[in-house]
A and B are shown apart, each in its own frame.
Chain A
Amino acid sequence: MALTVISAKYPPHIDPTKTPLAYGSRALPRLKRELNDSTLLVRQRAVMALCDHLHDPEHIAEAFRVDMEPSEDDIGIAASLKKLLSDPDITVRQKSTECLFIIAGHAIGRSAFLDHGIIPVISKLFDDKEDIARKNSHMAIEMLSETPQGAEGIVTAELVPILVRKLKEEVDEIKELILDTLHFCLRVDTDKALKSGAMEVFTELLQHSSPVIRAKAARDIMDLSVILEGKDKAVEVEAIPALISLLKDESPDVRANAAGALMTITITTRGKYTAIKSDGIQPLVDLVDDPTSEVRAYVLKVLTCLSEAPEGRQILLNHVDKIKQRTKDSIPAVARAAEIAVKVIEWKP
């Protein structure tokens, strides 16, 4: 999980083990009180202890139970963390974002995110000058976006154009997180991303040196081109030749997602003809026997789409035996896709 590019640099004088953690059910109320302390050192220690403490799902539930019955003099843990996000100290900011990331991994945490309106506050940290704070905040947002409600919250907070812009200028490690976040957001709404020029950015990222980013960019193109405008846009920005060249990539993820993106783009007639003209059929046919089932399924779907065009059918009639072998595939989805492909290729008017 932890890469070497961005690393947390804690102040040397803080030893989180020194934080006295109150016993049992008193632990969280005390931490909560300390989170709002005016002394920097106390806040730092509290937030670090909280970070370790929250790894247990039971403790998260307890933390929000504490929130449920707020005493009159202080505020809940989610609200305190929200306040700490704008703390001047980097350790506090970084650790509070990490806490939020852990919380966002659980359903009650995500609902708390939406209830307390933490999204806009955490999105301010996208401009933080410390890499680790930005990374943690992106991680939290990414975790939040995995559920439809969270993704909807992000879309309504107008974060999609910001994320697309950040995608151009961020460091690679954060780019991966942003691509993941956008992947989930695109399920909810594609218009905003299309308008903010996401397709161009993704197409550019297809040439990235990191296979993970290439794979995720291809997957996001697939998500973005689910709607008709996206498909047309993809043809316009010449994503198809780039995707076809990715079909020969070493990483199976990249191959699978590139095939997936082609699969969604070639639904339209324009997409089909562009793919046929860029000599996409041969590399696709080569991938029919790929060891990854995802690649096989997607490639068969692309071939099905391409064979709907007369030119594509003419070429694919030479390879129909190879595809027929796939109908006996061990994965039922692949076998079915192969059956449909054979049916479409051999269709006669």
Chain B
Amino acid sequence: MVRTPAPPGPTVLEEKLLELAGAVPDPELPVVTLAELGVLRGLHLTGPGRVEVELTPTYTGCPAVEAMAADIERVLHDEGMVEVEVRTVLTPAWSTDDITPEGRRKLGESGVAPPRPGARADGPVALTLGPTRRSGTPREAVPPPGSAAAPEPVRCPHCGSADTTLLSRFSSTACKALRRCEACREPFDHFKEL
């Protein structure tokens, strides 16, 4: 494919197509769109009726990428694009910091505690599990080399309490952890910082 030099900015059509692709709901968390999740990296027309979309996975093994690509292809085909190429890009690595404020708000409203900000700067946030027999007190996980600890508490998306406990660091999908609120006793998913 011979590509002409990229124009200085997105064209009106590219902006429109990007908006359409960005409005596609996430296959596993349909309350947020791909734009709000921050996984759409770019869209370029490569010829008449031909478009190339750059998508980045949340996790390397995220199986939803294939569904996302298929959904993007469908909406752009419906818009008259004959050939849609969805490319997966890994760099720069996606972070939960890429989720927009609106996306965070929607996650919370749907009962998923949004990720705490600053993941990209600090690396994965250390987690806490209940006490072991000998220690008697909850033990902070050993932070990865070179990372800052002391995370802010994960709040219950139902009642807002900061008194929540980790049940399992992997929940229904790799990107979520399972927690329980000690105030209202409801279990809930937490979108882990990455």
A binds B: no
Binding site for A on B (CB under 8 A): none
